[in-house]
Amino acid sequence: MGLVIVVMLVCASIFVNGWTDSPNAIATVISTRVLRPRVAVVLGAVFNFLGVLIMGTAVATTTASIVDIGTGTDALVTLGAAQLSIVLWAVAAWRYGIPTSESHALIAGLMGAGISLNGISALNWQSIKSVVIGLVISPAAGFILGFFFTRLIEMICRNINRRKTEKFFSAGQVLSASLMAFSHGAQDGQKFMGIFYLALVVGGVYTMESGGTLEIPLWIMLVCSVLMALGTSVGGYRIIKAMGIDMVKLEKYQGFAAEIAASGSMLASTLWGIPLSTTNVKATAMMGAGATKGVGAVNWSIAKDMVIAWVLTFPVCLILGYVFATVFRFLFSL
């Protein structure tokens, strides 16, 4: 029964990722009116699954090894508490239309819950080092590359008829949005399928292979992809509006540049096993692309709210994971 509850909480956190985080991958192609929302959601679901399927399990392995919680009832309760902290934080942010990083929420919740069970010794510092690298480089890389690629396109296309470039970048955005969704699956899809698999290891269904490498079954990949797609279709439009309309209005070539910059960064980090935040990279790439039209092209009030949410995510989810895990283990011991 305990395993069933934990798996349900993991599924809830995957659904919420689709609800609040996955829309970032398709926000630009919708805001530039290249694709209708329903078509973009289907496109995102297909390429999200392909990203999960093709890009290996390096990020999943890193995520699943962040904490050592062992096996048994206490470990299951601890893992379930971490998932609950993610769901509550993400839904609270969605209520105000603020995109948050579910990647950071997931990692922080795991760390807090793990510390409550086994103290600081529960933390795998090598994996955490990879997380910190991603935290530091993702916002800067997104903004700089978004700005650079937009300027590069403007330079290349400066003497080309605008109507021709509009047609080209309309088609190009379908490609870049597909690549963005693919990279989201390679990153966020892997993180959550790693946790799904970890729950089954903790519950005794599977065993961790020697060396800690994850051999994740196809059915787990399918479940993660379907749940993310359902979450996006049900509740993602508020985040899409905040990212693609309220924060910055991009032309088609700017949207193309932002998506290429963000997806390229994410795919490179995936190959190195570094967990990266889709929200951070995509949002800052869009800011960088918009900033080529001047500082006033970006609604910095919306951007400020996003940054505040990003900063608060880690400590809040770490504390929630710690408190929930401690309280739940106490209740289950009565």
Phi first, then psi, for residue 298 (nearest 5°) are -105, 135
pLDDT tens, position by position, 92-105:
877 776 667 777 88
Q: Report helix, strand or coil for 248.
A: strand
Q: How far is CA 308 from CA 103, 135, 280, 302, in A?
A: 16, 14, 12, 10
Say if pTM beats, i.e. exceeds, 0.85. Answer: no
CB 270 within 8 A of CB 183: yes
pLDDT at 319: 94
296 pLDDT above the threshold of 60: yes
pLDDT at 97: 64
Q: Nearest-CA neighbor of 54 among 284, 322, 306, 270?
A: 270
pLDDT at 133: 82
Q: Which residue has the higher pLDDT, 208 or 112?
A: 112
Q: Nearest-CA neighbor of 24 among 195, 243, 203?
A: 243
Instruction: Dump the DSSP string for 285-312.
Output: HHHHHHHTT-GGGB-HHHHHHHHHHHHH
CA distance 190 to 212: 15
Q: Which whole number is the average pLDDT over 13-31? A: 78
pLDDT band (50, 70, 90) for residue 59? confident
pLDDT band (50, 70, 90) for residue 280? confident
CA distance 162 to 262: 25
Task: Please list, in sequence order, all residues whose beta carbon lies within 8 angstroms of the beta carbon of residue 202, skipping any fewer than 6 positions away.
Answer: 6, 69, 70, 71, 72, 75, 76, 79
244 pLDDT above the threshold of 80: no
65 pLDDT above the threshold of 60: yes
Q: Which whole number is the average pLDDT over 129-148? A: 85
CA distance 235 to 51: 22
292 pLDDT above the threshold of 80: yes
pLDDT tens, position by position, 142-198:
899 999 999 999 898 888 887 888 888 888 888 988 988 888 888 888 888 888 988
CB 194 within 8 A of CB 63: yes
The percent helix, strand, coil of the chain (3-state, each to 5) is 80, 0, 15
Q: Which whole number is the average pLDDT over 292-319? A: 83
247 pLDDT above the threshold of 80: no
Q: Please give the mean pLDDT across all residues of the chain.
A: 83
